[in-house]
Structure 1
């Protein structure tokens, strides 16, 4: 779900909290050593996101906020803030060659540049993968599949 987060709308806040849970408290953030990513430089994005970002001439960057049940990938276009709401169950992360990560959710994706010297980005992606693994059930119930 791609949302405009520029305004303090209670309905949008309620939707995000229903999907991803409430933001982490101060103690939890300190224990996690932060729940937000450094500035991430975009190499490529899905068509809808690319069209939003093409409105201005600024460098395309994004950030990621971790929540108990997923992440919010935030970016700006002109003076508007947008966020892609991604529950862990729909998040797919690929590590391409040594300098990029790709995050997928359904028909949206973000390809992020992370060079060898971007240690903070690599550490955050490792933390994100660990949080996704912790939120994923060990033995998912597949129903009556035989």
Structure 2
């Protein structure tokens, strides 16, 4: 689900929390050594996201936040902030050639360059957390 999260809207916050859960507590974040990714350079996206990113001439970057039941990929276009909400049971991550990670949810996808060890370590953290803790289907939620 692709949402505009620029404004503090209770309905949008509720949708996000239903999909991926409430944010981790400070204690949980500390135990996990952080839940956010470094800045990721977007190399390719699905058409819906591309249409938002081409509105300005800034460099296309995003970041990822881990939640108990999924991830949130955030990016900016013009003066708006958008989020791609992906529950773990719909999340697919592939590592391609030249250290490019592809992140998929249904018809949406984002490909990001992973030029540092920190990015590779973060994607490993996501996959490990998904394997250990996440529900495997909507019935498990």
Q: Which bin holds the TM-score, normalised by the shorter protein?
A: over 0.9
TM-aligned CA deviation for residue 98 of structure 1? 3.9
TM value normalised by structure 2: 0.93
Instruction: Give the corresponding residue for 1:6.
Output: 6
Root mean square deviation, CA, Å: 1.3
Runs ≥4 residues deviating over 6 A: none
* CA contact 2:5–2:82 (8 Å) conserved in 1: yes
Which has a greater percent of helix? 2
TM-aligned CA deviation for residue 136 of structure 1? 4.4
Deviations 1:1-42 (A, max 9, x none): 100000000011011111111000100000000000000001
* CA contact 2:69–2:134 (8 Å) conserved in 1: no
TM value normalised by structure 1: 0.90
* CA contact 2:38–2:118 (8 Å) conserved in 1: yes
| Distance in 2 separating the partners of 1:14 and 1:89 | 19
Instruction: Give the corresponding residue for 1:81.
Output: 81
| Distance in 1 separating the partners of 2:55 and 2:108 | 18
**SS of equivalent to 1:110:** strand
**SS of equivalent to 1:109:** strand
Alignment of 1:67 with 2:90, yes or no, is no
| Distance in 1 separating the partners of 2:85 and 2:120 | 21
- Structure 1 unmatched ranges of 5 or more: 141-146
Instruction: Give the corresponding residue for 2:109.
Output: 109
Alignment of 1:127 with 2:125, yes or no, is yes
**SS of equivalent to 1:7:** coil
